[in-house]
Amino acid sequence: MHDTTKSQEIFGQFAGKTLETLSLWADASHGVLRELVNLSTAATKETTRLYAELQSSAVDAVRESQAYWFKRQSEMQELPKDPIAWYQKGLMESIEGTQKAFRFIEGSAQAVTKSAEQVQATVERTGKEIQQTLSTLATRMQEIHSAA
């Protein structure tokens, strides 16, 4: 009878530790998945923001280009009057247009860099949170099994 009671007590302790272990693993899994979902959401938001910024910049560049060519076409009447002035003006406007194009490219490159930095910072935070979750899990598992 004493052996039966002792066996039931040991089995109860084992079952309790098993449930506590499963609960810890479930909590850790939940925490890791939550962090991964947050990372995915943040990356998606940043990608969408970057895409919108790049698209807006591209639309601005197309508008600038169209405006340049429409202006050049309207100035074609001046060509027979003073061809040298027309060519000089066209050359200056081409240089200005090239400078604007490089500014658009530079702005896009800066936007991509900023976006990559944002995603990297988010990944680092997520990694730290997951590491903390797993460290806590390891500590709690040691506590549970060292008490045996």
Reported as a single tens digit per residue, the pLDDT across 86-112 is 888 888 988 998 898 899 999 999 999
Give me the pLDDT at residue 114, please.
Answer: 96
pTM of the entire predicted model: 0.73
Average pLDDT, the chain: 90
pLDDT classification of 148: cutoffs 50, 70, 90: low
CB 145 within 8 A of CB 17: yes
**Of 116, 100, 110, 146, residue with least CA distance to 42:** 116
Question: What CA–CA distance (Å, rounded) separates 136 from 140?
Answer: 6
Query: What is the number of other CB atoms lying within 10 angstroms of the CB of residue 89?
Result: 15
